[in-house]
């Protein structure tokens, strides 16, 4: 049940913190104060750097353990190659492979095919945004794909000392792993050599992966009649991820990821929510196309699909190894079990929290207060039984919210429900313009620290909440920017 983007760790040193609006103060922010510069240049700076480095490295460990030997299919668009990102992307993928992740790279070639067509003065022909590949266009596709393939092989062959590729020694394997069939005639238009994936040679690809090779696939497939077909990178990536039962399908895209109607990045969405988004048809291309194929992979058993901006240096690493990621993650979990509470849930919530109220873990609330505040609660339910709850108390003036009463039934603890509830409260908070969550806890500080909260003092709380702070309880205060 745990979201695979979050196998339980949050870097204390947030590598994304220098991005606007993410994480807490980074070392670069501290260094921007002139009076600290001198200190940071000296012994203090060294020890701060060392401490952050070690903390960061250790924070990555749970992900490394979780993903060892798992298969990631990474789709690199032709646009990423044009933008000059290839060398860096390959360096990052080489690092993933060194960590034991089995990597399949699928590359795109749209701009490169366009370039070839222009050189040969062959007009581009599309119908319903799909390329019609006639014989001349197929020659251009072969040329373009061959060139990119060589560029990728060259990038994986780097090994200069003092670069991330030193000692990498990566072997790249490619082949006729895709059987394709023609797309055929649609609306009376013959797509000729434009094809779709019919079959993936999963067993052979796995042999190559088990030999520690990086498998490289072009958007070309072959039919039993010996014909070549021009395919969509997204179709190939999604089909390969499905056939290999990959852990992740990652599209390195030229956008930020999926955005909502206000232009805000959607960090995470369930399969159900993704389907709804598709049906609303508000997505602009190419995001709609990526989402369509991401969803197809999820339906075929790939647990997570990610849309990650290639323009962000190390985007794939940030998405995989940081708690909140940098793009959009689509998850197979049926998040419908997570919902807002109704008045009918009061008895179950009371049953859940009473033992914790009695042993002092939670502040006593009582039936009447929970009934009155039921709209603040979110709950998690399995098979009609309530297993967890959490509440959000907004302080709109300060744009802050309190995450309270987070509880998971002991029977269901350790399976990620606590984290799901926390994320739901974060979503609810964001939706009403809150940008900082805080929590008061006497026994669970470490759980929150691992999930991006930092220790704070009473004076950071909203004024009204400061007045209600129970000094005899001496709860720890933790804050997270969301």
Site size with ligand COA, rule: CB under 6 A: 20
User: Contact with ligand COA (CB under 6 A): which of 219, 416, 452, 462?
Assistant: 416
Q: Dihedral sign for Cα 430, 431, 434, 438, please.
A: negative
Nearer to ligand COA, 232 or 402 (CB): 402
Nearer to ligand COA, 328 or 476 (CB): 476
DSSP string, 418-461: HHHHHHHHHHHHHHTT--EEEEEESS-HHHHHTTT-EEE-GGGS
Q: Is 415 in the site for ligand COA (CB under 6 A)?
A: yes
DSSP string, 46-83: HHHHHHHHHHHHHHHHHHHHHHTT-EEEEEE-HHHHHT
Q: Is 419 in the site for ligand COA (CB under 6 A)?
A: yes
Q: How far is the CB of 318 from ligand COA (least distance, A)?
A: 21
Nearer to ligand COA, 374 or 408 (CB): 408
Count of alpha carbons within 13 angstroms of residue 283, beta-carbon side:
22
Q: Is 408 in the site for ligand COA (CB under 6 A)?
A: yes
Q: How far is the CB of 442 from ligand COA (least distance, A)?
A: 8
As a whole number of Å, the CA-based R_g of the chain is 25
Q: Is 418 in the site for ligand COA (CB under 6 A)?
A: yes
Nearer to ligand COA, 131 or 323 (CB): 323
* CA proximity to 434, closest of 479, 391, 477, 401: 401
Place of tokens 């992307």: 89
Q: Is 268 in the site for ligand COA (CB under 6 A)?
A: no
Q: Which residue is nearest to ligand COA (CB)?
A: 418
| Helix, strand or coil, per DSSP, at residue 254 | coil
Q: Is 401 in the site for ligand COA (CB under 6 A)?
A: no
Helices (H), 68-201: 78-82, 86-98, 110-119, 135-157
Q: Is 145 in the site for ligand COA (CB under 6 A)?
A: no
Q: Is 447 in the site for ligand COA (CB under 6 A)?
A: yes
Q: Is 172 in the site for ligand COA (CB under 6 A)?
A: no
Task: Give the span between the Cα atoms of 454 and 225, in whole angstroms.
Answer: 62
User: Contact with ligand COA (CB under 6 A): which of 417, 465, 477, 478?
Assistant: 417
Nearer to ligand COA, 65 or 299 (CB): 65
Q: Is 441 in the site for ligand COA (CB under 6 A)?
A: yes
Of 103-111, 121-129, 407-415, 428-436: span binding ligand COA (CB under 6 A): 407-415
Q: How far is the CB of 185 from ligand COA (least distance, A)?
A: 52
Count of alpha carbons within 13 angstroms of residue 33, beta-carbon side:
9
Q: How far is the CB of 9 from ligand COA (least distance, A)?
A: 8
Of 323-331, 343-351, 403-411, 455-463: span binding ligand COA (CB under 6 A): 403-411
Neighbours of 460 (CB within 10 A): 14
Nearer to ligand COA, 229 or 453 (CB): 453
| Helix pair 202-210, 233-243: axis angle to 10 deg | 80
Find all residues with CB under 8 Å of 306, minimum gap 6, and list them: 248, 249, 250, 251, 294, 319, 325, 327, 328, 329, 330
Q: Is 439 in the site for ligand COA (CB under 6 A)?
A: yes
Chain Cα centroid distance, residue 303: 12
Task: Give the span between the Cα atoms of 345 and 349, in whole angstroms.
Answer: 6
Q: Which of residues 328-387 bind ligand COA (CB under 6 A)?
A: 356, 361
Q: How far is the CB of 334 from ligand COA (least distance, A)?
A: 17
Q: Is 393 in the site for ligand COA (CB under 6 A)?
A: no
- Write out the residues near ligand COA by the rule CB under 6 A: 8, 356, 361, 404, 406-408, 413-419, 439, 441, 443-444, 446-447
């Amino acid at each position: 049940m745990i979201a695979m983007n979050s196998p339980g760790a949050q870097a204390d040193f947030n590598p994304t913190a220098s991005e606007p609006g993410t994480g807490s103060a980074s070392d670069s922010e501290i260094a921007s104060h002139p009076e600290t510069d001198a200190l940071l240049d000296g012994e203090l700076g060294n020890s701060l750097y060392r401490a952050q480095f070690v903390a960061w490295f250790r924070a990555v460990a749970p992900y490394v353990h979780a993903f060892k030997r798992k298969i990631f299919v990474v789709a690199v668009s032709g646009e990423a190659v044009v933008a000059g990102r290839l060398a860096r992307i390959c360096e990052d993928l080489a690092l993933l492979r060194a960590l034991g992740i089995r990597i399949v790279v699928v590359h795109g070639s749209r701009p490169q095919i366009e370039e070839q067509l222009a050189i040969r003065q062959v007009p581009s022909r599309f119908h319903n945004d799909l390329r019609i590949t006639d014989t001349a266009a197929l020659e251009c596709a072969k040329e373009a794909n061959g060139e990119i393939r060589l560029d990728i092989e060259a990038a994986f062959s780097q090994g200069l000392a003092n670069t991330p590729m030193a000692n990498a020694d990566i072997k790249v394997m490619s082949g006729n792993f895709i059987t394709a069939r023609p797309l055929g005639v649609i609306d009376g238009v013959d797509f000729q050599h434009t094809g779709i994936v019919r079959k993936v040679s999963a067993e052979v690809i796995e042999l190559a992966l088990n030999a520690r090779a990086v498998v490289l696939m072009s958007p070309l497939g072959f039919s039993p009649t010996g014909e070549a077909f021009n395919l969509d990178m997204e179709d190939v990536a999604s089909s390969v991820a499905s056939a290999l039962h990959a852990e992740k399908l990652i599209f390195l895209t030229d956008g930020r990821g999926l955005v909502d109607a206000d232009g805000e990045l959607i960090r995470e969405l369930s399969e159900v929510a993704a389907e709804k988004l598709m049906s609303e048809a508000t997505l602009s291309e190419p995001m709609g196309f990526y989402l369509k194929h991401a969803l197809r992979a999820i339906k075929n058993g790939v647990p997570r699909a990610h849309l990650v901006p290639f323009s962000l240096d190390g985007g794939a690493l940030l998405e995989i190894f940081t708690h909140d990621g940098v793009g959009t993650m689509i998850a197979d979990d049926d998040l419908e079990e997570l919902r807002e509470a109704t008045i009918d849930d009061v008895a179950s919530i009371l049953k859940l929290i009473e033992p914790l109220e009695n042993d002092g873990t939670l502040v006593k609330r009582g039936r009447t207060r929970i009934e009155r505040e039921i709209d603040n609660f979110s709950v998690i339910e399995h098979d009609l039984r309530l297993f967890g709850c959490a509440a959000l108390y907004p302080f709109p003036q300060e744009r802050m919210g309190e995450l309270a009463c987070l509880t998971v039934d002991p029977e269901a603890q350790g399976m990620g429900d606590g984290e799901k509830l926390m994320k739901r409260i974060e979503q609810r908070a964001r939706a009403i313009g809150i940008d900082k969550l805080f929590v008061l806890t006497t026994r669970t500080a470490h759980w929150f620290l691992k999930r991006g909260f930092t220790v704070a003092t009473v004076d950071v709380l909203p004024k009204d909440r400061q007045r209600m702070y129970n000094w005899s309880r001496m709860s720890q205060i933790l804050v997270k920017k969301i």
